[in-house]
Amino acid sequence: MDADSTSLRARMKRRLPNFEQLSERIRTRARALRRRFGGTEDASVAERLAAIDEEYVERGAKDITEVDLDTVIEQAEAIEERFESNGPLQRLLEDGRLLLSLVRDARRGHYREIPVWTLSAAGFTLLYVLNPFDLIPDTIPLLGVLDDAAVVSACLSLLEQDLRDYQAWKRARLEDESDEPAEDLISP
């Protein structure tokens, strides 16, 4: 294990009280995903990135459970921090927050007009971002988050209309609560 991955593990342990258990679960899931989706340990970075598209997100979403969605909610701060602290992901920060908000509202029963597969795709994407041991390990400087950004982008493309519907619902709900226009309260 190199110094970067040791440092990452130490930071994750401080932020996530159940890191070891979560880490093992994520590594197991990552190995299964690599086997299932054809990723190999020796595939080049370009090959790994090329494998990430809308179908990749759809396949991953099929295995998302309610426990996984609860994990997304429990780890929301860590997920948001991953978006904030990484160059390619930072550009997707508002979209990441929108996905987190969608999962929270759906799991709490506030937003019910969402297809299950949409919720699963959002959950898969957010867990992927949280996972430091995905197709391209996050310990590889810069390249390690490109796959995360690719998964988020593919998810956004898949869920575009559902996200617009959610934003409209959220905007209307906020306007009802405050009796003011909510244009500035929700990112586009």
pLDDT in the model for residue 143: 80
Pairwise pLDDT comparison (74 vs 39), residue with the higher score: 74
Quote the Cα angle for 115-135-95, to 5°: 45
> Two tokens at 11?
């930071």
Three-state DSSP state, 19: helix
| Whole-number Cα distances in Å, 91 to 5, 22, 185 | 24, 27, 19
Residue 144 located in a structural domain: yes
Work out how many domains the chain is built from and give that number.
1
Cα Rg of the chain (Å, integer) = 17
Residue 188 located in a structural domain: no
Q: CB of 147 within 8 A of CB of 49?
A: yes
Residue 184 located in a structural domain: no
DSSP 8-state secondary structure symbol assigned to residue 75: T
Q: What is the pTM of this model?
A: 0.71
Residue 186 located in a structural domain: no
Pairwise pLDDT comparison (5 vs 89), residue with the higher score: 89
Rounded average pLDDT over 11-23: 61
Confidence class of residue 133 from pLDDT cuts 50, 70 and 90?
confident
> Two tokens at 10?
């130490």
Averaged confidence pLDDT in the chain: 82
Pairwise pLDDT comparison (48 vs 17), residue with the higher score: 48
Best CA proximity match to 93, nearest among 84, 103, 85, 102: 84
Residue 54 located in a structural domain: yes
Q: Is the pLDDT of residue 82 over 80?
A: yes
Residue 37 located in a structural domain: yes
Residue 118 located in a structural domain: yes
Q: CB of 150 within 8 A of CB of 45?
A: no
Q: What is the extent of the structural domain holding 38? A: 3-178
Q: How far apart are CA 57 and CA 99, in angstroms?
A: 14
Residue 187 located in a structural domain: no
